[in-house]
Amino acid sequence: MSPRKQDETIYIPGLGSCLTARSGRAGLVAAIKALNLPPGAQIGVPLYCCPVVFKAITAAGCRVRFIDIEPETFCMSPEDVSKKRSHIDAAIAVHMFGNLCDMHSVQTAVQGKPIIEDCAQSLGSKLGGRMAGSFGDIAFFSFRSGKYLSVGEGGALYSGHEAIRTRLSQLISEMPASGCAEEFVHVVKTHIRSMLRSRPLYGIVGYQLWNILGKKMNLSEKSGVILSQIYRADLAIIRKRLPLLDSAIKKQRANADLYASTLELTPEMLCQERSGTFYNRYHYPVIFSTMEQRDFIADYMFKQQVGTIKYLDNVVDIAIKNYGYSGDCPVAEELSKRVLILPSYHSLMKKDIQHIAQCLNEGWLKLQSHAQNTLL
């Protein structure tokens, strides 16, 4: 199908005009190709990130080089980048949970090699007043279901370099566009997924279904990278919801503040906002000392009808199995087994957050009591 002619850009405040693609992963493939790297180039990427990023790297004809993370932010470690700089041709700085990489240190560490910012979780986050996505050579965003702008699919690309933007535009224009039938099927599927992720169906069947699909079928590992232009329906929804972003971030940050003041946990168990940064608080992670502690709390919360996420619990196994990971990212390995994500969506009410915090506090007390009894 021939490329579309209408304007398919969007405007992200703090950045400017952004190109669009079918998904964030399709955008990442285009971003890598736009850098004109040599065939088989090695791209440094945090081990602790969505495996779809690894798949996109290989789909672009490159190889994955794993980088460790900083425990305070779950983001790429500039120190580890420096150690592995001679083995990478470019880097993908993943802003995890809406936290921000120390971009100035990462830029120093790569010594002029290109950087792609993965802003799939950091839309609206800022470092020193500058918007996430404004530091690297290219930035990409995702609007897949569950993101801040939860659309269905949809991705965006930004570059402040005219030559790179021209190459990105050309690469996207060469991708196929969807027909009417494909658009219709996509809208129906998106509607069904949305219903299963919303009340009351989420509590009745949705949670169990996503749990089965996510864990037993390893969707993050098996899902492919489809290179095509953005769905018209997704583009329309993105444009409609972008003006609502600031209010959603404000509410989600308030939820994070309420957790911080209500949870009866030690400070090191919570992810603090660094000085000079503004996090959109896309996810609210709690860090436990052991996997056993995390699993105990997850089970306890589930019995209280509170769903939590063991985020990227299997990323190390996926990296070993499919991408040749050799075990040189110890911090990422540890945290992948000890992190639990609490519900913090901006649609939740204050009473919901308080209830979740109370459940966790009760579970934490039971866990400590159990540990003391075991020692006795």
Q: Which two tokens stand for residue 307?
A: 């769903």
State the pLDDT at residue 221. 55
Q: Which two tokens stand for residue 161?
A: 């370099």
**Pairing between β-strand 130-131 and β-strand 277-278 as defined by DSSP bridges:** unpaired
State the pLDDT at residue 206. 46
The 3-state DSSP class for residue 107 equals helix
- Supply φ then ψ for residue 312, to 5 degrees: 60, 35
CB 21 within 8 A of CB 34: no
Residue ranges of domains in the chain: 10-180
Quote the CA–CA distance of 67 and 46 in Å, as a whole number. 5
In the chain, the amino acid numbered 9 is: T
| Four-CA torsion 324, 330, 336, 340, nearest 10 degrees | -170
With CA atoms as reference, report the closest residue to 293 among 352, 364, 359, 215: 364
With CA atoms as reference, report the closest residue to 265 among 287, 294, 291, 245: 287
State the pLDDT at residue 369. 84
CB 328 within 8 A of CB 66: yes
* Long-range pairs of 217-226 with CB within 8 A, sequence gap ≥ 24: 218/314, 218/318, 220/50, 220/51, 220/52, 220/318, 221/51, 221/314, 221/318, 221/322, 223/52, 223/55, 224/55, 225/23, 225/25, 225/26, 225/29, 225/52, 225/55, 225/56, 225/59, 226/22, 226/23, 226/26
pTM beyond 0.85: yes
Radius of gyration of the chain (CA): 20
CB 124 within 8 A of CB 346: no
With CA atoms as reference, report the closest residue to 330 among 95, 84, 66: 66
The architecture CATH gives domain 10-180 = 3-Layer(aba) Sandwich (3.40)
State the pLDDT at residue 28. 97
Greatest extent of the chain over all pairs of C-alpha atoms, in Å: 73
* pLDDT less than 70: residues of the chain: 1-6, 190-223, 373-376
Handedness of CA 35, 40, 44, 48 (dihedral sign): positive
State the pLDDT at residue 74. 97
State the pLDDT at residue 165. 97
pLDDT in tens, 199-230: 554 454 545 544 555 554 454 555 678 889 99
CB 157 within 8 A of CB 31: yes
